[in-house]
Amino acid sequence: MAMIGAILFHVLIVGLFVLSFDWTEKPEMAEAGIPVSIILPNAEALELPTKIGNTEKEPEKQIVEPEPSEESIKAAEAIEKKQEQQQLATIARQEAALKIKEATEKRLLEQARAKKKLADQKLADQKLAEQKKTEQEKAKREKEKQAEKAEQERKAEEQKIVEKAKQKEEALAKEKTEKEAKRKAEEKAKKIAEAKREAQAKKDAQAKRDEQAIKDAQAKKNAKKKEERKKREKAKRLAKEKEAKEKKQAEERAAKIKAEKEEAERLAKKRAAEKAAAIKAAKLKAEKEAAEKLAAKKAEYHRKWKEAQEKKKADAIAAEARKKAAAEAASNKEALVKAKRGAQISWGSKIQRHVKRRWHPPPGTSGKSAKVKITVSASGYISSGIKVLSCSGSDEFCASVKDAFEQAEPLPRPPSKFNFNKSDRTITFIMD
């Protein structure tokens, strides 16, 4: 858990530095560490150092310089003023980055602690559930053993009544039964142990992802309990050492920034009152720009997050609507099929009643039947002829069935509501 927190912390710091760096800003000559040369009239170039905070002293050189002109003095002051403004802007950016980093470190530390506490609670709950399950299984096995024992005692009492000649055979059977029961109990215990080991392995894998310090805690909780405790203590100690090291580095960076700031302030105090006012205005402007930039980034992030949430919500609503529409379509289709089938059966019954009213079977044909197949057109006429598939009566009986269908035309028309096709309009009748 500590390792995951540290990785997230470093990724966040790198992201903050990348976001705070202005990739499009052209570096000034002073920031790039390039000496600035001032060309004086009728004189050699005078090279001025641009880096502030360099405490190393170079050996003084005896240079005889001509009297500088008023223009060169103004140019030098302008360059010096610009350098001071750039230094103050850099210091302001560093202070803002430091504040953001401190707040981020504090938040990540609190999140890591909360996550670890949740994982510990989850592990404790899992252990309690497993203990309860083990106790229940133990009670169940004990109950089964008692029932088995009672059954064996009952069988033993019955065996005592049996003839002495069968005592040896019964003893062997009893022994075989006991061995079989023991084997089944051992197999059952083995399966339970195997299931428990698999569950423990899954739990260990989950615990390993959450916190590297907890490895194989459940599978080897008795044999490696002491070793796991040492690993957790080592992980905590390393996390504390890392936290202390990062805190010390932050303090050193803050001290360095503070020293540079004090050095800049010391140099600023030597300037005239008008330069101090200009520096103060530049500092306020830089702070305002930094605050505006940070506010713009926050607003952009909030806007993108809100758009993502709205899109997610819209997608969920659309998916639910599609699911509901599909369910309704399936329900409507099934209802339509049932209604169509019912209409087809009702129409077939009407045709059969219509034909039977015109059927005059010959005398003495009671109990005879014929199976007839026809295809009815939309106008009620038989379109493909009358096919007698089978007939159990005489030729006269079979001919009377065919004549009845011919005399019954036109037949009741198929219901127009369902638009029956040729297959739907092909019906088989049993005439009896």
Each residue of 249-291: pLDDT tens digit?
Answer: 888 888 888 888 888 888 888 887 788 788 888 888 888 888 8
In the listed set 271, 287, 305, which residue is the last one of a domain according to the structure? 271
Query: What would the mean pLDDT of 80-99 be, rounded to a whole number?
Result: 89
Report the distance separating Cα 425 and Cα 162, nearest Å: 77
Judge whether 169 lies within some domain.
no
Nearest residue to 297 via CA among 14, 18, 105, 10: 18
pLDDT score of 67: 65
Judge whether residue 120 has pLDDT over 50. Answer: yes
Judge whether residue 53 has pLDDT over 50. Answer: no
Judge whether 373 lies within some domain.
yes
Judge whether residue 171 has pLDDT over 60. Answer: yes
Confidence of residue 6 (pLDDT cuts 50, 70, 90): confident
Residues 85 and 224 in one domain: yes
Judge whether 155 lies within some domain.
no
- Strand 370-375 vs strand 426-431: parallel, antiparallel, or unpaired? antiparallel
Residues 139 and 255 in one domain: yes
Judge whether residue 41 has pLDDT over 50. Answer: no
Judge whether 19 lies within some domain.
yes
Could you please report the per-residue DSSP string of 102-119? HHHHHHHHHHHHHHHHHH
pLDDT score of 49: 44
- Is residue 162 within 8 A of residue 173, CB to CB? The reply is no
Residues 92 and 215 in one domain: yes
Structure confidence by residue, pLDDT tens digits, 322-335? 888 887 777 777 88
pLDDT score of 108: 92
- Predicted TM-score (pTM) of the model is 0.28
In the listed set 215, 236, 271, which residue is the last one of a domain according to the structure? 271
- Is residue 369 within 8 A of residue 404, CB to CB? The reply is no
Judge whether residue 36 has pLDDT over 80. Answer: no
pLDDT score of 349: 93
pLDDT score of 354: 93
Residues 368 and 235 in one domain: no
Query: What would the mean pLDDT of 192-213 be, rounded to a whole number?
Result: 85
Structural domain boundaries enclosing 237: 2-51+68-150+198-271
Return the beta strands (E) in 27-170 as ranges.
36-38, 46-48
Residues 265 and 345 in one domain: no
Judge whether residue 404 has pLDDT over 50. Answer: yes
Residues 204 and 86 in one domain: yes
Judge whether residue 29 has pLDDT over 50. Answer: no
Judge whether residue 61 has pLDDT over 70. Answer: no
Please tell me the total count of domains within the chain.
2
Residues 87 and 223 in one domain: yes
State the CATH number of the domain containing residue 364: 3.30.1150.10
- Is residue 189 within 8 A of residue 134, CB to CB? The reply is no
Query: What would the mean pLDDT of 423-428 be, rounded to a whole number?
Result: 90
Judge whether 238 lies within some domain.
yes
Residue 36: Cβ-neighbour burial (10 angstroms; 0-12, 13-18, 19+) = middle
Nearest residue to 115 via CA among 247, 263, 8, 252: 8
pLDDT score of 50: 40
Residues 89 and 230 in one domain: yes
% of the chain at pLDDT higher than 90: 14
Nearest residue to 69 via CA among 43, 50, 48: 43
Q: Which two tokens stand for residue 172?
A: 């062997």
Query: What would the mean pLDDT of 14-42 be, rounded to a whole number?
Result: 52
- Is residue 382 within 8 A of residue 374, CB to CB? The reply is yes
pLDDT score of 174: 86
Judge whether 211 lies within some domain.
yes
Residues 243 and 367 in one domain: no
Nearest residue to 58 via CA among 66, 48, 67, 68: 48
pLDDT score of 402: 92
Query: What would the mean pLDDT of 362-382 be, rounded to a whole number?
Result: 90
Report the distance separating Cα 158 and Cα 59, nearest Å: 118
Judge whether residue 69 has pLDDT over 60. Answer: yes
Judge whether residue 390 has pLDDT over 90. Answer: yes
Residues 6 or more apart in contact with residue 9 via CB below 8 angstroms? 104, 105, 108
Residues 372 and 239 in one domain: no
Report the distance separating Cα 172 and Cα 206, nearest Å: 51
Residues 215 and 127 in one domain: yes
Judge whether residue 96 has pLDDT over 60. Answer: yes
Judge whether 308 lies within some domain.
no
**180-209 as b/e, with b when 16 or more CB fall inside 10 Å?**
ebeeeeeeeeeeeeeebeeebeebbeebee
Residues 6 or more apart in contact with residue 177 via CB below 8 angstroms? 152
Structure confidence by residue, pLDDT tens digits, 334-371? 888 888 889 989 999 999 999 999 999 998 888 889 99
Residues 254 and 120 in one domain: yes
Judge whether residue 54 has pLDDT over 50. Answer: no
% of the chain at pLDDT higher than 70: 87
